[in-house]
Structure 1
Amino acid sequence: MTIGSEEELEKLKAAGRLVARTLKAMGEALEPGITTKELDQLGRKMLEDAGARSAPELSYDFPGATCISVGPDVAHGIPGDRRVEAGDLINIDVSAELDGFFADTGASFAVPPVAPRIDKLCRDGRRAMWAGIRAVRPGAPLNAIGKSIETFADRNGYSLVRNLASHGVGKSLHEEPTELATWYEPHDKRRITEGLVFTIEPFLSLGADWVDEMEDGWTLRPPGQEPTVQYEHTLVATRRGPLVLTLAE
């Protein structure tokens, strides 16, 4: 969507703060022994207590309030009875509808003890996302975002998953601009317009450039099971630059 009023912006900010706080609480609750279902129930309660609805449930009938993926799975993992173990790499994606507006955020968490290469992968996953965010300004090409992310990945020896992309968000969970590449796509001639609301969510990997859908019809995993992280913010392009909506504070 493109923001048309201050009221719309304030509602998007409220939705963004809620999903950010929910993600933060779920990340802080991660410890060996907790099940992904228990973690999801924590997220559901926070959303519902605030009057929000789970976006994946609402939009796609997803079997959970949040997506929780335990490595080597990287996205769309279904919460269940699996217990978190020391050393796990876990991605949590939280998106919700609040008062008619949607926001979407996600992050990867490494459960201690953490191998040095995984710790670095997590740090660099955040840096890759922010490299893309810093490229946002009205009038700039949309593919400048992916170009910045790919430059960072190449410089630091990582690959990017290329069948998962960022997307527009606001009045629905997924809307225009669709298929917003987090790698350089030279044929994409679209431009960033003032007030445009969208996500930036690169999947940075130690070798994977593709994910396959598992038999459950949801979970996504690299064929070679390479460690992969995702970090995601919802933002709006303003004359002053990117305004990140999914910050907990």
Structure 2
Amino acid sequence: MTITEEDQLDGMKEIGRVVANTLRAMAKAMEPGMTTEELDAIGRALLEREGAISAPEEVYDFPGATCISVNEEVAHGIPGPRVLAEGDLVNIDVSASKNGYFSDTGASFVLGTASPAQAKLCRDGRKAMQLGIAQVGSGRPLAGIGNAIGKFASERGYTLIRNLASHGVGESLHEYPGEIPTWPERSERRRIEKGLVLTVEPFLSRGSFWAETAEDGWTLLGTPPAPCVQYEHTVVATDRGPVILTLPG
């Protein structure tokens, strides 16, 4: 989506606030002994209260309102009977629509007390996303996002999962300009136009390069297996740089 009118921006800010508040509330509600299905139910109730519709369900018939991925699961984890435990690395991805506008956000959390290695991975995952967001602005190269994230990851000994990319969003969950690499890609020559709405969502890992689909047909597992985090915001490009749309409030 390319925003050209103020009402479009208002609509994107509204659904951005909804998914951000839902993500924050789900993270706060997590506790050992809870199932991912119970956590998902909290997210569903919050979305419904705001008049929003789960995007994975609406667009892909996903079996859950949100995606909850635990430990070895990188993305698209199906909410179900899995019981959360102290020390689990949990990724929550919330995307939804309201009044025809879609927004997408996600973050990784350690349940309870994080180990030093877990804390560092989460801290660096968030930093990688922030570095990518800083490259967004009118007329700037799309490749700048992946170049900045890739440089950070390489310097710190991380890998990036290279078949899970950022993407355009706004009037649908995945749209123009299609996939946007969050790793260095020499063939990426496109420029960011003013008003373009996109996600920035690197998958930073301590060894995984690829995500493969599990037997359930949805859940993605890192290959080779290694801890992985994902942080995601929906942003809009302006002449003054990025504006983050998925902020709680």
Pick the TM interval, shorter chain: over 0.9
Q: In structure 2, give the amino acid aligned to 1:231.
A: Y
- How many angstroms does 1:178 deviate by? 1.1
- CA offset digits 1:119-162 (Å, max 9, x no partner): 10000000000000001111111010000000111111111000
How far the C-alpha of 1:39 sits from its partner, in A, is: 0.5
1:31 aligns with 2:31: yes
- Provide the residue aligned with 2:169 in structure 1: 169
Let me know the Cα RMSD of the aligned residues.
0.7
What corresponds to 2:59 in structure 1? Answer: 59
Match in the other structure for 1:120: 120
Match of 1:95 in 2: 95
* TM-score normalized by the length of structure 2: 0.99
Unmatched runs of 5 consecutive residues or more in structure 2: none
Amino acid at match of 1:157: G
Instruction: Name 2:211's counterpart in structure 1.
Output: 211
3-state SS of the aligned residue for 2:16? Answer: helix
Paired with 1:223 and 1:192, the residues of 2 have a C-alpha distance of 31
| TM-score, normalised via structure 1 length | 0.99
Cα deviation digits, residues 89-123 of structure 1 (max 9, x gap): 01000000011100000000111232111110000
Tell me, in whole angstroms, the C-alpha distance in 1 between the residues paired with 2:183 and 2:222. 17
Shift of 1:87: 0.8
Q: How does 1:59-208 map onto structure 2 within 5 Å?
A: 59-208=59-208
Structure 1 unmatched ranges of 5 or more = none
Q: Is the 8 A contact 2:235 2:246 kept in 1?
A: yes
Q: How far apart are the structure 2 equivalents of 1:147 and 1:173?
A: 24
Check the 8 A contact 2:129/2:231 in 1, yes or no.
yes
How many residues are paired up? 249
Deviation track 1:11-50 (CA, whole Å, cap 9, x = no partner) reads 0000000000000000001110111001000000000111
Equivalents in 1 of 2:36, 2:113: separation in Å? Answer: 19
Aligned-residue offset at 1:240 = 1.1
For 2:110 and 2:225, how far apart are their aligned partners in 1? 16
Task: Write the letter of the residue equivalent to 1:13.
Answer: K
